[in-house]
C-alpha cells in the first residue's frame, strides 16, 4: 500500500499500536452490545473506537480501512441515535466488518498480500443505513448578484446613523477547502464580532443549512477600518483571495477597541498529565535480564560475606561489610519484585478475546450461552500470558461444544434455556488459578471408563478401579477425545491432552471436576512467572543440577537395597507404588566419580502428566530462586534440559526438563526397550 | 517559542500532530481528554489549542466551553472529522477561532496554528 506523505516507520508503529487496541476494543464491545443494547456509554465507546480508526487510518493514507471504519461508524451512529435497533444481523454485519478490518490491518504488514475487497462489507453495513447524501459535497452554485432586501436596507440605514462605514467584501475560498459552508460561517461569525452583517451571498441562513459556495460576498457595516477587517479575515484558513471596497460612503466614526483582557491565572493544580508510559517489551526483557544478573551477583556477594564472617568473626570491617551487603540484598530483592511487577499483565488481555469465540461457536451450534468473566484484572507475567491463550480456547470450545446442551435438551432436563460458562482468575500465593466452569451436562465417569478401555489407555482392570474423579481426569490422557462425533468446532483429534501438556510445560497443573447433569469445572494452576523459578539443587556424580520445585512431589532418602530391578530397569517401592527410577549421571552420560557414596542415596520424586519418576541423586543441596537462562543460543534445544542458571558462587547449573525426561522414559517403556534406561543420547554436562 | 496544546484521545493523531508541530519549531503540550486539557491549559498556558471534537467523557464542545470559562481569550481550533459540520458551527458560535478537518495535511495544521498565534 502507499503511505501518505510524511508517515515514517515510527508513525506506523504508533498507528498499529493504537489500531490494534481499537480493534480489540471493538471486538469486545460489539459482543457486549448484543446484550447491552441500551447502554449508551458502551455505544459511545464503540462509536469512538470506529471514529478513531477512521481518522488515523486516513491519516496514514490507508483509505480502504478508513472507508470501512466510516461505514461502521455510520451504522453505529444510527444505533446511537435510536434510528436503528441492535439485532443479531446488525451485530453480524459489525463483526464481519471488524474481521475485514483485521485482515486489512494484516495486509499492511504483509506486502505480498492480495488487496482485500471491502465492497461487500461496506454494502452489508450500508444496507442498515438509509441513504443520505453528504451535504458537504453539494455543488457550487455561482451566485448571480448580492441584492439588498428591505430588511438589509433598514439595517444599513441604522448603521449609518450610528456612524458606521459600509463595506463590500468578496472572498474566494481555496478550491481544496473541505467545508466551504462552515468556512463561510466562520467568516461571517468572525466579522460579526466587529461589524453588523447587512447581507451576504449565500445568506447566513443558507450557510448554516450547509449551502456552500467557494465565493462569498458580504456587505457589512462597522466602525473600524479596512485594516481591521483584513486582520479578522486573516484568522480564517483556506481563504484564497479577499477584496474589500467601501460600499456606501458615510462619515467615519471613532474607534472603539475592546481590549481583550488576559484572564487572571487560576490556581495551579498538581494533576499529573499522564499516569502511564508505553515501553517496548524488548526493553523490559532486557531490564529483567539485568536484574537477573544483579540477583546472581547479590547471591555471590552474600555468600562471600558469609565466608568472610566465618573467617574473621569479630572484625569490624567485616561486620560493616556484611551489614551493607544485607542492605544491598534487600534492595535488590525489592528491585527484582518491582521489575517483575512491571512485567505483569492483566489476564484480560487474553480473556477479552474469548467472548467473541463463545458467541461464534454458540451461534453455529444453536446453543444459548451466557459467558461470564471474573477476575480479569488478575495479573500474571507476560511469559505466562502468551502461553495460556491456546489452552483456554481449547477448553472453552470444549465447554460450548460438549458441555452446554441445546436449549431443548436443557429445558427438558429442567435447566434454564441459556447455559452459563464462567471463567475466572484469582491469585493464590505464587500462583494464578484460572477456573472454567459450565452448567452443562457434565462428564459421565462411566462413559470415560468405557472409552478409556476401548482406546487402550490402560488395562481394563486398572481403569475399572479408578475413582470417579480419577476417571474424569482421564480426559487429559493423550489421544482421548470426548466428542461422540467429529464436529467442526472440536473433536479434530486434538484432545485435552494438548491442554495438559501446554500447561505442564509452564510448570502448571490442570484438573477437572464434574457432576453428571450439573456441569464441569476445569482448574488451571499456573506460576506467576517463568523468568525466575524456585528449584531444588541436587548433586549427582559430582554435578549439580536444579529441579524446578513445581515438578517435585517429594524428596526422600533411598538406600541401595531399596532399589530393585524389574525387566532390566531399576524401580523402587514408593508409597506402595512401583516407582521407575532414573539415574541422571547415566541419562546424561556423566562419568562416575570415584569414592562415591553408593549406599546412602536420595530420591527426588517428580511428576509430569500424571506420571511419577524417581530421580536417583547423591545429595540434596538447598532450595534456591534461580534466574532461568535459555541455552538455545549455545547448544540448541536439548532434551532433558530447559535452561541454565548461575549460582551464588558463580557455578553454572543445568535446570532439568522434567517433562521431557518423563516423556522419554514412558516412550521407552512403551517401545518395550529392555535396555537399562538411557533416556537422552546427547551428552550434556558441565565439569568443574 | 510558541506553545501549542493538542487535545485528542486518539494517541496516533496526537503524536503525529505533536511531531509535525515540534518539527516546525513549536513547543507542544499534549492532553488526551477534556479534563486533562483544562488542567494542562492552566499550568502550561499554551498560546493556542488544537481541540478534537470526538472524545470520551467531555467532548470537544464541552471542553471548549470550559476552556473559554477559564480563559475567554483562549485561541482554540477545532479538529473535526468528516460529517461533523454541525458541531463545528456550534463550536465557532461558542468562540472557537478556527477548525481543521481530518484527515488533515501537515500544512493545514501549521497554517491554522500560525493564524491563531498571529
CB A520 within 8 A of CB A497: no
> Under DSSP, is residue A483 helix (H, G, I), strand (E, B) or coil?
coil
Mean pLDDT in chain B? 89
- pLDDT level of residue A2 (50, 70, 90 thresholds): low
Contact A170, A215 (CB under 8 A): yes
Chain A hits for B73, CB-CB cut-off 8 Å, are 260-263
Question: Residue A154 is placed in which grid cell?
Answer: 433598514
Is A73 part of the annotated catalytic residue set?
yes
Sign of CA dihedral A311, A312, A317, A323: positive
* B106 half-sphere exposure, CB direction, 13 A CA radius: 14
Query: Phi and psi dihedrals of A133, rounded to 5?
Result: -80, 150
- Whether residue A64 contacts residue A118, with contact meaning beta carbons closer than 8 Å, is answered with yes
Residue A266 pLDDT more than 50?
no
Rounded mean pLDDT, A10-16: 82
List all residues 6 or more positions away from A325 whose beta carbon is below 8 Å from its beta carbon: A301, A302, A304, A305
Contact A186 B45 (CB under 8 A): no
SS (H, E, C) A44-110: HHHHHHHHHHHHHHHHCCCHHHHHHHHHHHHHHHHHHCCCCCCCHHHHHHHHHHHHHHHHHHHHHHC
Q: Per-residue DSSP letters for A411-435?
A: HHTT--SSEEEEEEEEEETTEEEEE
Q: What pLDDT shows up at residue B5? A: 95
Q: Which of A120, A141, A162 lies closest to A211 in space, CA to CA?
A: A141
Cβ neighbours around B57 below 10 Å, total: 12
Chain B, nearest residue to A8 by Cα: B16
Return the higher-pLDDT residue of A295 and B98.
B98
Report CB contact under 8 Å: A186, B98: yes
Four-residue CA torsion sign, A551, A556, A558, A564: negative
Region B80-105: what's the mean pLDDT? 85
pLDDT band at A134 (very low <50, low <70, confident <90, very high): very low
Q: Copy the grid coordinates of residue A439.
A: 452448567
Assess contact for A113 and A106: CB atoms under 8 A: yes
pLDDT of residue B60: 92
Q: Give CA–CA dist A634/A654, Å, rounded.
A: 13
**Residue A143, pLDDT above cutoff 70:** no
Query: Which set of grid coordinates corresponds to residue A196?
Result: 453588523
Indicate yes or no: pTM above 0.90.
no
Residues 6+ apart with CB under 8 A from A280: none
Chain A residues touching residue B88 (CB < 8 angstroms): 179, 182
What grid cell was written down for A508? 502448571
Task: Compare B112 and A463 and report the one with higher pLDDT.
Answer: B112
Asked if the Cβ–Cβ distance from A265 to B10 is below 8 Å, we say no
Task: Give strand pairing partners of A521.
Answer: A437, A513
Residue A528, helix vs strand vs coil: coil
Kindly determine whether residue A179 and residue B102, on different chains, have CB atoms separated by under 8 Å: no
Q: Any CB–CB contact under 8 A between A235 and chain B?
A: yes
- Each residue of A177-222: pLDDT tens digit? 778 888 888 888 888 888 888 888 888 888 887 777 788 888 888 8
Residue carrying the nine cell digits 483571495 = A241
The DSSP result for B48-97, as a single string, is: EEEEES--SSS-HHHHHHHHHHH-TT--EEEEE-TT-HHHHHHHHHHT--
For A271, the closest of B39, B92, B112 (CB atoms) is B39
If you search the block for the grid coordinates 540477583, which residue do you land on?
A295
Does position A268 have pLDDT exceeding 50, yes or no?
A: no
Of the residues A74, A299, A352, A398, only one is catalytic, namely: A398
Report residue A207 as a C-alpha cell.
Answer: 450557510
Amino acid at each position: 500500500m502507499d503511505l501518505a506523505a510524511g508517515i515514517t516507520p515510527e508513525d506506523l508503529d504508533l498507528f498499529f499500536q493504537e489500531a490494534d487496541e481499537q480493534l480489540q476494543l471493538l471486538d469486545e464491545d460489539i459482543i457486549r452490545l448484543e446484550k447491552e443494547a441500551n447502554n449508551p456509554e458502551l455505544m459511545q465507546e464503540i462509536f469512538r473506537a470506529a471514529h478513531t480508526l477512521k481518522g488515523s487510518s486516513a491519516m496514514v493514507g490507508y483509505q480502504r480501512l478508513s472507508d470501512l471504519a466510516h461505514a461502521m461508524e455510520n451504522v453505529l451512529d444510527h444505533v446511537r441515535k435510536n434510528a436503528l435497533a441492535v439485532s443479531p444481523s446488525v451485530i453480524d454485519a459489525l463483526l464481519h466488518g471488524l474481521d475485514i478490518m483485521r485482515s486489512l490491518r494484516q495486509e499492511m504488514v504483509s506486502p505480498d498480500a492480495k488487496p482485500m475487497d471491502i465492497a461487500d462489507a461496506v454494502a452489508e453495513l450500508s444496507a442498515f443505513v438509509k441513504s443520505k447524501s453528504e451535504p458537504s459535497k453539494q455543488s457550487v452554485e455561482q451566485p448571480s448578484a448580492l441584492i439588498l432586501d428591505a430588511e438589509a436596507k433598514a439595517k444599513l440605514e441604522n448603521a449609518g446613523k450610528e456612524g458606521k462605514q459600509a463595506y463590500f467584501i468578496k472572498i474566494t475560498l481555496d478550491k481544496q477547502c473541505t467545508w466551504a459552508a462552515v468556512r463561510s460561517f466562520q467568516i461571517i461569525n468572525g466579522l460579526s464580532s466587529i461589524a453588523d452583517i447587512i447581507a451576504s451571498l449565500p445568506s447566513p441562513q443558507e450557510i448554516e443549512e450547509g449551502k456552500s459556495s467557494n465565493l462569498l460576498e458580504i456587505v457589512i457595516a462597522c466602525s473600524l477600518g479596512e485594516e481591521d477587517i483584513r486582520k479578522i479575515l486573516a484568522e480564517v484558513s483556506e481563504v484564497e483571495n479577499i477584496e474589500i471596497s467601501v460600499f456606501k460612503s458615510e462619515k467615519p466614526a471613532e474607534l472603539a477597541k475592546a481590549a481583550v483582557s488576559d484572564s487572571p491565572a487560576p490556581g495551579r493544580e498538581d494533576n499529573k498529565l499522564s499516569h502511564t508510559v508505553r515501553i517496548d517489551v524488548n526493553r523490559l526483557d532486557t531490564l529483567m535480564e539485568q536484574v537477573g544478573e544483579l540477583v546472581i551477583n547479590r547471591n555471590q556477594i552474600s555468600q562471600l560475606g558469609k565466608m568472610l564472617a566465618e573467617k574473621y568473626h569479630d572484625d569490624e570491617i567485616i561486620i560493616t561489610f556484611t551489614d551493607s551487603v544485607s542492605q544491598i540484598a534487600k534492595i535488590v530483592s525489592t528491585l527484582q519484585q518491582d521489575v517483575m511487577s512491571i512485567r505483569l499483565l492483566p489476564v484480560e488481555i487474553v480473556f477479552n478475546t474469548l467472548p467473541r469465540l463463545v458467541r461464534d461457536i454458540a451461534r453455529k451450534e444453536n446453543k444459548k450461552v451466557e459467558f461470564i468473566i471474573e477476575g480479569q484484572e488478575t495479573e500474571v507475567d507476560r511469559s505466562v500470558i502468551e502461553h495460556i491463550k491456546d489452552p483456554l480456547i481449547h477448553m472453552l470450545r470444549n465447554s460450548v461444544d460438549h458441555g452446554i446442551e441445546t436449549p431443548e435438551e436443557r429445558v427438558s432436563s429442567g435447566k434454564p434455556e441459556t447455559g452459563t460458562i464462567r471463567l475466572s482468575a484469582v491469585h493464590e500465593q505464587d500462583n494464578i488459578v484460572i477456573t472454567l466452569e459450565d452448567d452443562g451436562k457434565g462428564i459421565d465417569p462411566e462413559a470415560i471408563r468405557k472409552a478409556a478401555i476401548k482406546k487402550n489407555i490402560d488395562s481394563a482392570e486398572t481403569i475399572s478401579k479408578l475413582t470417579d474423579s480419577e476417571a474424569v481426569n482421564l480426559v487429559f490422557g493423550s489421544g482421548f477425545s470426548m466428542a461422540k462425533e467429529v464436529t467442526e468446532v472440536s473433536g479434530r483429534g486434538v484432545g485435552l491432552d494438548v491442554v495438559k501438556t501446554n500447561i505442564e510445560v509452564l510448570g502448571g497443573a490442570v484438573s477437572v471436576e464434574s457432576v453428571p447433569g450439573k456441569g464441569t469445572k476445569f482448574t488451571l494452576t499456573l506460576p506467576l512467572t517463568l523468568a525466575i523459578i524456585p528449584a531444588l539443587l541436587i548433586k549427582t556424580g559430582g554435578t549439580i543440577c536444579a529441579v524446578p520445585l513445581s515438578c517435585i512431589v517429594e524428596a526422600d532418602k533411598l538406600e541401595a537395597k531399596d532399589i530393585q530391578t524389574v525387566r532390566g530397569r531399576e524401580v523402587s517401592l514408593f508409597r506402595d507404588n512401583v516407582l521407575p527410577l532414573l539415574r541422571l549421571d547415566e541419562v546424561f552420560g556423566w562419568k562416575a566419580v570415584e569414592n562415591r557414596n553408593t549406599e546412602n542415596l536420595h530420591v527426588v520424586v517428580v511428576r509430569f502428566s500424571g506420571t511419577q519418576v524417581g530421580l536417583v541423586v547423591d545429595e540434596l543441596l538447598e532450595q534456591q530462586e534461580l534466574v532461568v537462562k535459555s541455552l538455545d543460543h549455545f547448544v540448541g534445544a536439548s532434551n532433558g534440559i530447559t535452561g541454565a542458571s548461575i549460582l551464588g558462587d558463580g557455578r553454572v547449573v543445568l535446570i532439568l526438563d522434567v517433562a521431557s525426561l518423563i516423556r522419554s522414559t514412558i516412550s521407552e517403556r512403551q517401545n518395550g526397550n529392555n535396555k537399562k534406561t538411557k533416556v537422552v543420547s546427547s551428552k550434556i554436562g558441565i565439569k568443574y | 517559542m510558541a506553545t501549542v496544546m493538542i487535545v485528542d484521545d486518539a494517541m496516533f493523531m496526537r503524536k503525529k500532530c505533536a511531531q509535525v508541530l515540534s518539527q516546525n519549531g513549536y513547543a507542544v503540550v499534549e492532553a488526551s481528554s477534556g479534563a486533562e486539557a483544562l488542567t494542562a491549559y492552566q499550568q502550561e498556558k499554551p498560546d493556542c489549542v488544537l481541540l478534537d471534537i470526538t472524545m470520551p467523557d467531555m467532548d470537544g464542545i464541552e471542553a471548549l466551553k470550559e476552556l473559554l470559562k477559564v480563559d475567554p481569550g483562549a485561541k482554540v481550533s477545532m479538529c473535526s472529522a468528516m460529517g461533523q459540520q454541525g458541531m463545528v458551527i456550534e463550536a465557532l458560535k461558542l468562540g472557537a477561532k478556527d477548525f481543521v478537518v481530518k484527515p488533515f495535511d501537515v500544512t493545514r495544521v501549521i497554517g491554522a496554528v500560525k493564524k491563531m498565534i498571529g
